[in-house]
Amino acid sequence: MGHKHEILLRSIFGGPLGANVHWREVEAMLAHLGAKVEPHHGASFRVVLNGVEGIIHRPHNSPTCTKQELRNVRDFLESAGVSASQLQAGEH
């Protein structure tokens, strides 16, 4: 896994969620994990990863994600089988 993607995943699963994460970084990380990301309605995106489908909202008036948006990404990743323990083991 790329260093940037690993750092972003660790920040999403690890300590306090940052407020300086750009949506394009999240989208690139999801694609790197093998997710299919496509526009849905308005600011929402349909994401499919490991056979799990979810809807994730991108920021509306800012290029950076809110903490709640990052929590939603974390929840989706967990439901798709990506976990913090896998990250520690170097898997994804």
Specify the number of domains making up the chain.
1
- The pLDDT confidence band at residue 56, using thresholds 50, 70 and 90, is very high
- Determine the Cα–Cα distance for residues 56 and 66; give it in Å rounded to an integer: 12
Q: What is the CATH number of the domain that holds 29?
A: 3.30.160
Residues 1-45 pLDDT 10s: 567 888 888 888 887 777 788 999 999 999 999 999 999 988 899
β-strand partners of 22: 64
What pLDDT does residue 26 have? 93
Range of the domain at 43: 3-88
- The pLDDT confidence band at residue 89, using thresholds 50, 70 and 90, is low
How many CA atoms lie less than 13 Å away from 52 in the CB half-sphere?
15
8 A C-beta contact, residue 25 and residue 59: no
What pLDDT does residue 12 have? 87
